[in-house]
Amino acid sequence: MAKTFHLEIIAANRIFYQGECEHLVITAIDGLLGIMAGHEPLVTVLPTGELKYMVNGQWQYAAISEGFIQVMPESSVILADTCELPEEIDIKRAEEARERAQEQLRQKQSIHEYYQTQAALNRAMNRLKISQKHFK
Amino acid sequence: MANMREIRERIDSIKQILKITNAMYLISSSKLKKARKALDSTEPYYYKLQETISSVLEHTPHTRQMYFDRRTDIPPEKRKKGYIVITADKGLCGSYNHNILKFTEQELAKSPDINNCYLFVLGHVGRMYFTSRLKNSSKPFVDGEFLYTTQNPTLYRAMEIARLVLEKFENRELDEVYVIYTDMINSSVQEERMIQLLPFSRKHFGKAPDGTMKKLPKASFLPSPEEVMAHLIPNYTKGIIYGAMVEAFCCEQQSRMTAMDAATTSAKDMIKELSLLYNRARQGAITQEITEVVSGSGALSANV
């Protein structure tokens, strides 16, 4: 078995994962980032995206929305607004959210609202993508 | 006789109020359960966030990021201070509102010029209090468009609030931002607390992070420390506001439950006392009637 490091994924409403992990792949602000045990100390920001981590040789997938990660050689902490497994995603709700966001984007609005709606749309699309990819 | 009726009416009205307080007790206890659950699931995030940020900051090289800018060129009496105060939407929750308002007053009194204080009040009670307070003398500016409820805090609401204060900070409409809320220490102890949100200083992460992370060299930041901080700090602000809202909401329900419980108990005590008085008055009236009848018949038989 590969060398492991301690991984904590904490969402605003729950502790998503806490335990050993062999390999972690995150979508950082400027691209994919793979982390294994003994990684150099690192801090980066995570946009809404996909996350996967390997436990006992099995890849686990999750949809994550905005947060950040702190990497230490022996441990990593991810703090995010929300984090969900593909099977937990409410597809109907995400689809509705996407519709809503797209509708709002079509209408004229202030820059702020535009960014907010775009973020909402990103979240919804990400959820849909991940649930379709890993949970059929 | 009038005495008896009065007592009976009193008992009836107390019974009515008892029903209300009892219902409110039940409602708040079920709301508290929900709030507690939210609190329990948010607390790990809230504490981890503070801990992680403080350890991140230990590894951060000195940055000229705008959220760290302490604006020392502005003299203390000219600094515009913003306070996010979390109160309740309704009264009838014991001293909860009173305590937080008093605490805020004390903090406001400390600032050199109250006209440079800006209040962002969550909750109706606090908003009414600060808008109507001390009409004649100088008062802090209360943002009238800041209308957020404290019930069932959501991350989305926290995000909006965070965005608002960050924007004001960036535009130099505010130089310092604080959050005032009630912290739940345990179910019977609550404490008012103030956290400085902005400018972001390393100093206020006074708590010692767990020793394991201490001896590490400077961490690298991707893509750059400035870029990371530009994302991290809004995120942190949001997290802190959300955590404070959840804590405060839980405290509110807790104090309402305690207050309503106390009200119900004292109503029951009052009913007990009043029924004793009522019975005594009734007994007195009966005795008096009997005496009257007996003495009346005695007078009659004496005549015959």
Residue B217's closest chain A neighbor by CA? Answer: A41
**Residue B7 domain-assigned?**
no
**Residue B191 domain-assigned?**
yes
Specify the amino acid at residue B267.
Answer: A
**Residues B116-131: what's their mean pLDDT?**
87
Identify whether the C-beta of residue B169 lies closer than 8 Å to the C-beta of residue B67.
Answer: yes
Among B252, B66, B50, CA closest to B170: B66
Residue A120's closest chain B neighbor by CA? Answer: B156
Specify the amino acid at residue B131.
Answer: T
Identify whether the C-beta of residue B93 lies closer than 8 Å to the C-beta of residue B259.
Answer: yes
**Residue B2 domain-assigned?**
no
pLDDT given at position B271? 95
ipTM: 0.77
Phi, psi of B257 (to 5 degrees): -60, -45
pLDDT above 70: residue B64: no
Helix, strand, or coil (residue B274): helix
pLDDT above 90: residue B19: yes
Residue B253 vs residues A125, B34, B50, B91, B151: alpha-carbon distances, Å: 37, 10, 25, 11, 10
For residue B199, is the peptide bond before it cis, meaning its omega torsion is within 30 degrees of 0?
A: yes
**Residue B108 domain-assigned?**
yes
H or E, element range at B256: helix B225-303
**Residues B18-35: what's their mean pLDDT?**
93
Q: Work out the pLDDT band at B138, boundaries 50, 70, 90.
A: low
pLDDT above 80: residue B243: yes
pLDDT above 60: residue B90: yes
Phi, psi of B192 (to 5 degrees): -75, 145
Residue B219's closest chain A neighbor by CA? Answer: A41
Structure tokens at B195: 């956290």
**Residues B224-244: what's their mean pLDDT?**
86
- Parallel, antiparallel, or unpaired: how do β-strands A23-28 and A49-55 relate? antiparallel
**Residue B8 domain-assigned?**
no
pTM: 0.82
Residues of A near B (CB-CB distance < 8 A)?
A: 8, 10-15, 28-30, 33, 40-45, 66-68, 70-74, 77, 79, 81-82, 112
Contact A43 B56 (CB under 8 A): yes
pLDDT digits (tens, 9 = 90+) for B103-114: 998 888 888 777
The larger pLDDT score, comparing residue B46 to residue B223, is at B46
pLDDT given at position B87? 92
Provide, as residue numbers in chain B, all residues whose Cβ is less than 8 Å from the Cβ of A45: 227-228, 231-232, 235
**Residues B167-173: what's their mean pLDDT?**
88
Q: Work out the pLDDT band at A108, boundaries 50, 70, 90.
A: low
CA distance A10 to A89: 17
Residue B88 belongs to what domain range? 21-260
**Residue B281 domain-assigned?**
no
Contact A41 B217 (CB under 8 A): yes
pLDDT given at position B63? 64
CA distance A89 to A4: 28
**Backbone region of residue B159 per phi and psi (left: phi > 0; alpha: psi in -120 to 50; beta: other values):** alpha
Provide, as residue numbers in chain B, all residues whose Cβ is less than 8 Å from the Cβ of A44: 221-223, 228
pLDDT above 90: residue B276: yes
pLDDT given at position B304? 64
Residue B51's closest chain A neighbor by CA? Answer: A77
Q: Work out the pLDDT band at B80, boundaries 50, 70, 90.
A: confident
Lowest pLDDT segment from A73-77, B3-7, B140-144? B140-144
Q: Which of B59, B155, B212 sits opposite A81 (nearest CB)?
A: B155
**Residues A71-90: what's their mean pLDDT?**
88
pLDDT given at position A136? 66
The larger pLDDT score, comparing residue A83 to residue B115, is at A83
CA distance B182 to B163: 22
CA distance A126 to A104: 18
Structure tokens at B172: 């130099």
pLDDT given at position A30? 82
Burial of B172 (0-12, 13-18, 19+ CB in 10 A): exposed
Q: Work out the pLDDT band at B275, boundaries 50, 70, 90.
A: very high
Provide, as residue numbers in chain B, all residues whose Cβ is less than 8 Å from the Cβ of A11: 45
pLDDT above 70: residue A135: yes
**Residue B302 domain-assigned?**
no
- Parallel, antiparallel, or unpaired: how do β-strands B81-86 and B176-186 relate? parallel
Q: Which of A68, A79, A112 sits opposite B45 (nearest CB)?
A: A79
pLDDT above 60: residue B215: no
pLDDT given at position B43? 87
Contact A44 B228 (CB under 8 A): yes
Identify whether the C-beta of residue B236 lies closer than 8 Å to the C-beta of residue B45.
Answer: no
pLDDT above 50: residue B205: no
pLDDT above 60: residue B211: no
A13-20's contacts with Cβ under 8 Å and 24+ in sequence apart are A13/A82, A13/B38, A13/B41, A13/B42, A13/B45, A13/B155, A14/B41, A14/B44, A15/B44, A16/A62, A16/A83, A17/A53, A17/A60, A17/A62, A19/A55, A20/A55
Instruction: Count H helices and E strands in chain B, helices first.
Output: 5, 6
Q: Tell me the angle at which helices B155-170 and B225-303 cross, rounded to the nearest 10 degrees.
A: 120
Provide, as residue numbers in chain B, all residues whose Cβ is less than 8 Å from the Cβ of A68: 228, 231-232, 235
pLDDT above 90: residue B16: yes
3-state secondary structure A73-101: CCEEEEEEEEEECHHHCCHHHHHHHHHHH
Name the domain count of chain B: 1
**Residues B164-190: what's their mean pLDDT?**
88
pLDDT above 80: residue B204: no
Q: Tell me the range of A110-119, B92-101, B215-224 where mean pLDDT is highest.
A: B92-101
Burial of B55 (0-12, 13-18, 19+ CB in 10 A): buried
Lowest pLDDT segment from A79-83, B113-117, B154-158, B240-244? B113-117
CA distance B181 to B251: 10
The larger pLDDT score, comparing residue B117 to residue B261, is at B261
**Residue B101 domain-assigned?**
yes
pLDDT above 50: residue A92: yes
CATH number at residue B256: 3.40.1380.10
pLDDT above 60: residue B209: no
pLDDT digits (tens, 9 = 90+) for A6-56: 999 999 888 899 999 999 999 888 889 999 988 888 888 898 989 999 998
pLDDT above 80: residue A1: no
Among B89, B50, B55, CA closest to B256: B89
